[in-house]
Structure 1
Amino acid sequence: MSDSSRDTAAGAGWGDAEQGAYRQLMPGRVEKISWLNPRLLWAARNGVLASWFGDPTGRTRGRLVAQRASAGAPADKVIRRTEPDEFSFMVIGDTGEGDEPQYAVVPGFLRVSQGTSFAVLASDVIYPVGSADDYETKFFRPYRDYRAPIYAIPGNHDWYEDLGAFMRVFCGDAPPPPAEPAPRPPGRAWLRSLLWHRPRPDDDRRLTQARALRGDAVQQAVQPGPYWAIDAGPVRIIGIDTGLLGVLDAEQGAWL
């Protein structure tokens, strides 16, 4: 039986790596996130607003998927990969806040992922609110040395800015879809639209530069949308997007 990560460093994939070597991967300055910070709670308000005034996630997702389809994404939302009968892939999720706990496991991840065909990042790619400016330190930099594509499904934190940055990074640089018509006052939808958190107009200023950190051809992948299936050799992997409130919308359910 192999060692457990509860018992030895080797069981966690560290091997003989020097403790603390991950610090060399980190940026010089790391923003500390505190969920007791009122400013951060206000930025992350969309989940609460959706639960109080109605969740617009399904309609937004429908517009995003329709836009990807019009751009040529496969209608069945299946990513087809040619893999042998025996292959391996990585699954990671809730990867962290761009601080030491996230980077500390990167050397182990890189060690055990050698020879894998791709990775699946299973929700909450970017804390706290899915901002485009956070992708450099929380996605591209920590996984710059992973020599294979990374596919992702969004979590509720990625939806706090209407999934705009996620779609740009993972779905072929998809532009934001046309906005919904403004709801008429008064009503719950109107109140929600007044308070809804949206990205800043300049929120993607660092994204192009950050992409160079995972710019090699072997690292590239384009998804048909925030939910998808991967046909890879003998296995089909299905990624479901449950939005802000953990709900499966009717359109996605029909596809599934």
Structure 2
Amino acid sequence: MLMSNPIPCFLLAAGRGERMRPLTDNLPKPLLSIQNKSLLAWHLETLSKAKIQEVVINHAWLGEKIELALGNGQQFGLHIQYSPEGSALETAGGICKALPIIAPKDYFLVINGDVFSPNLPVDQLLETASNMRMDANKPLAHLLMVPNPVQHPEGDFYLRNSTVSNAASEGAEKLTFSGIGIYHKDLFQDLEIGIPAKLAPLLRKAMEQNKVSGEKYIGPWHDVGTPQRLQELNAAYE
């Protein structure tokens, strides 16, 4: 059963995109286009179809261009707010700073602004969030894991059944974290607003408490990390 009131979504768009230079010298990385549609626009259209209404986007490098391109979200049928960062706060630090704007009741969806996943199963993720609410264990995170791409063959975490762990175990598969997940606001409760913080240590700590679930996603997913990869994706989706 889908949530009657879908959770809010936070899009991470504050990265400098060093590996994408010179394309990102005058344009923030999440505004780079595949088939004349920015990476952020692909996400926003998917969120709108899933009936998500509240979206918050953080930005730093050339952030005013993101606000200019997307406005208040009306063109997507969404309500978009922004969380500007003067200096890079890393993933968890950016989420912590934006939490008062995201204002989640409990869970919220987070998506990296620089991944391309045109068939992202947001409806399925919303259903997962509903189930997490009813879970007596109250998971702190649910991660979308993907097969290890060529540029990241060693993977990130182990998935066994629906549990994500930092340690190998029998029957567990080591996969790559997609940059797409559902988080409980309590995952960030020990962070201080405005202080840079990485996400991985928070996830590992939650994994030790058996509070991170996950699933393997085999649909199209791409980390748009280099100009060559962007060029290849544009050719592939022509």
Q: TM-score, normalised by structure 2?
A: 0.28
More strand by share: 2
Q: TM-score, normalised by structure 1?
A: 0.27
